[in-house]
Amino acid sequence: MSQVVEAPTAGAGDDRGTGGRTGGGLHLRSLTKEFASFTAVKSLDLDIPSGSFFALLGPSGCGKTTTLRMVAGLETPTSGTITLGERDITWEKPYRRPVNTVFQNYALFPHLDIFENVAFGLRRRKRSDVKPAVEQMLALVELESQARKKPAQLSGGQQQRVALARALINNPEVLLLDEPLGALDLKLRRSMQIEIKRIQTEVGLTFVHVTHDQEEAMTMADTVAVMNAGVIEQMGAPAELYENPRTTFVANFLGQSNLIEGTVAGREGDVVKVDMQGTVVSVPSARAHLETTAGHRAWVGIRPEKVLIAEVGEVIDAPGNSIPGGVISDVSFVGVSTQYLVRMPWGQELQVFEQNTGRRRLFRTGESVDVSWRPDYAFLLDHEQDASAGTDRSDLPS
Binding site for another protein (CB under 8 A): 16, 18, 72-74, 93-95, 99-101, 103-105, 107-111, 120-121, 124-125, 150, 152-153, 166-167, 170
Residue 73 or 236: the one with the smaller Cβ distance to another protein is 73
**In what side-by-side order are the strands of the sheet with 368-373?**
308-311, 368-373, 321-333, 337-343, 349-355
Compute the distance between CA of residue 98 and CA of residue 385 in angstroms, rounded to an integer: 40
Residue 92 or 376: the one with the smaller Cβ distance to another protein is 92
Residue 95 or 346: the one with the smaller Cβ distance to another protein is 95
Compute the distance between CA of residue 39 and CA of residue 230 in angstroms, rounded to an integer: 7
Residue 16 or 343: the one with the smaller Cβ distance to another protein is 16
- Residue 108 near residue 166 (C-beta atoms within 8 A): yes
**CB proximity list for 384: less than 8 A, separation 6 or greater:** none
Residue 34 or 92: the one with the smaller Cβ distance to another protein is 92
CB of 101 to another protein, least distance (A): 5
CB of 148 to another protein, least distance (A): 10
In this structure, the strands spanning 288-289 and 379-382 are parallel
- Residue 192 near residue 184 (C-beta atoms within 8 A): yes
CB of 168 to another protein, least distance (A): 11
Measure Cα distances from 257 to 56, 135, 299 in Å.
21, 48, 11
Residue 42 or 150: the one with the smaller Cβ distance to another protein is 150
Write b or e for each residue in 38-52: b if 16 or more Cβ atoms lie within 10 A of its Cβ, otherwise e: ebbbeebebebebeb
Compute the distance between CA of residue 226 and CA of residue 59 in angstroms, rounded to an integer: 9
CB of 124 to another protein, least distance (A): 4
CB of 73 to another protein, least distance (A): 8
CB of 107 to another protein, least distance (A): 4
